[in-house]
Structure 1
Amino acid sequence: MRFAAIADVHGNHLALEAVVADIRKHGVTEIVNLGDCFSGPLTAGKTADILLALDAVTVRGNHDRYLIEQAPEAMHASDSAARAELVDRHLDWLRTLPFSAVYRDEAYLCHATPAADNIYWLESVSPDGHIYQKPIKEIEALAAGIDFPLILCGHTHIQRLVRLSDGRLIVNPGSVGCPAYDDDLPHYHKVEAGHPFASYAILEKVDGVWLPIFRQVAYDHMAMAKLAAQNGRVEWACGLATGWLPQVRS
């Protein structure tokens, strides 16, 4: 049994096209999407058309929620840029997305954690902005009651695999379209993949055991970096071009 997991496309249609092509090249026919589909200063409308046609099992991310809950004038710049490109059918699709889902009675899907769509599950942030892997007991506490062998989450854009003490696996497939970002909560920090490639994972069950194959896919990332720069988002441009953010906060 094999399927692909994508997450955090963030309105990058070129990265999404490349990832879908790579998935098909590997003979995988089914895809799950862990949310944060459109937010960003890129090509939300084109991305939406691809995702709606893909018809993947999809859960709602925090930025997906912002796009349907917040007034445009109250949105963060990335959400506002995406909202301007989306039409009614795209927003209607977002409204149908569940907070979580179960795929083929094997995998639990959520964007961030089973309790919230904007909390890091596998990582913590220190007061001085360093990101580190969360202690296993804290990770397991958030997994209480999720009785599936495979648990998939996104949100942090970092590819990671954690095996719980009872054998359950938690997998973050990484970000398709946004390899670097910063955030002010819970403390100011940067998340940087260190490369500009599109990331996803193939999940395969072999002899009763689920294992991820983490994939990185090359695409025309410089085209998206130039678009972000044209739209006045220097930090996005740098992240898309290199996988790193500017050293000085913009």
Structure 2
Amino acid sequence: MKIAVIADIHGNAPALEAVLADIDSQGIREIVNLGDHLSGPIDPARTADLLMARDIVSIRGNHDRALLTLEPEAMISIDRFARQALDEGHLSWLRALPPTRHMDEHGLFLCHGTPQDDLVYWLEDLTPEGIVHRSDAARIERLAAGVEAPVLLCAHTHIPRLVTLSDGRLVLNPGSVGCPAYEDDEPVVHKVETGTPRASYAVIDRRADGSTEVAFRLIAYDHASAARLATENGHPDWARVLSTGWV
């Protein structure tokens, strides 16, 4: 059985449409979605409509939480833009999403950052100087303790990565559908850059013999139109990110 894993769409409806079309072309019917769906200066409402129409299994990310808990004046600009674009139906959908989810029937656990915190990087870590690097094995194992599932899914860093734990469990980040690079100042100033404008997601193949295969897919789409929308919506910085995969 194949399951598509998407995450970090960030309101990029053109990228989401391309990814959904690619998923459909493979005959994959099961999709799970790991959060940060709508915050971004492209088309949050259209993104929400696409997700709601497909009834995709979804959880809440840190930006989704901010949309629901902060007053607009306290939000960062991409959250505020999304909040202004969404209607009550979109917000009701967000409110119903859990922060984590067990899918025992598929052997999956879903979270956004780590099982404990939607703001913490799981498979990546930072040096004091803000250099992003793969986290060490002991830390990854520690954060996975007590989570009983063969495949643990995370997102948040936008970097596609697969790690095999010492007990054989897999920890998978599918990368970002809609935002291939960003800059953050917590816990220190740093950049995350994939170096490509393509939309990223992953496919899990749970086979009858009990084995699991994982494939990452990087999908070309009309990123120029997404970049134009970002510029028109007051975020030319996002235009470079969407066009190049670099900040």
Q: State the one-letter code of the partner of 2:27.
A: G
Q: Tell me which residue corresponds to 1:190.
A: 191
Deviations 1:80-112 (Å, cap 9, x if unpaired)? 011111000000010000011122250000111
Q: TM-score, structure 2 length as denominator?
A: 0.97
- Gaps of at least 5 residues in structure 1 are 246-250
The 3-state SS of whatever aligns with 1:64 is helix
The 3-state SS of whatever aligns with 1:51 is helix
For the residues of structure 2 that align with 1:30 and 1:168, how far apart are their CA atoms? 21
Q: Tell me which residue corresponds to 2:100.
A: 100
Q: Tell me which residue corresponds to 1:248.
A: none
Say if 2:165 is the partner of 1:164: yes
Say if 2:201 is the partner of 1:217: no
Q: TM-score, structure 1 length as denominator?
A: 0.96
2:230 paired residue among 204, 228, 231 = 228
For the residues of structure 1 that align with 2:13 and 2:123, how far apart are their CA atoms? 27
Q: CA deviation at 1:234?
A: 2.4
Say if 2:155 is the partner of 1:154: yes
The 3-state SS of whatever aligns with 1:167 is coil
The 3-state SS of whatever aligns with 2:176 is coil
For the residues of structure 2 that align with 1:98 and 1:209, how far apart are their CA atoms? 28
Q: Tell me which residue corresponds to 2:61.
A: 61
Q: CA deviation at 1:232?
A: 2.3
Q: State the one-letter code of the partner of 2:228.
A: K
For the residues of structure 1 that align with 2:163 and 2:212, how far apart are their CA atoms? 12
For the residues of structure 2 that align with 1:40 and 1:57, how far apart are their CA atoms? 21
For the residues of structure 2 that align with 1:196 and 1:15, how far apart are their CA atoms? 10
For the residues of structure 2 that align with 1:53 and 1:174, how far apart are their CA atoms? 23
- Structure 2 counterparts to residues 1-250 of structure 1, below 5 A: 1-103=1-103, 104-206=105-207, 207-245=209-247
Deviations 1:195-218 (Å, cap 9, x if unpaired)? 001110110023312221100111
The 3-state SS of whatever aligns with 2:22 is helix
- Gaps of at least 5 residues in structure 2 are none
Q: State the one-letter code of the partner of 2:53.
A: A
Q: State the one-letter code of the partner of 2:34.
A: L
For the residues of structure 2 that align with 1:131 and 1:81, how far apart are their CA atoms? 28
> Would you say how many aligned residue pairs link Structure 1 and Structure 2?
245
For the residues of structure 2 that align with 1:54 and 1:199, how far apart are their CA atoms? 19
Q: State the one-letter code of the partner of 2:63.
A: H
Q: CA deviation at 1:231?
A: 2.1
Deviations 1:53-95 (Å, cap 9, x if unpaired)? 1111111000000000001111100000111110000000100
The 3-state SS of whatever aligns with 2:138 is helix
Q: State the one-letter code of the partner of 1:46.
A: R
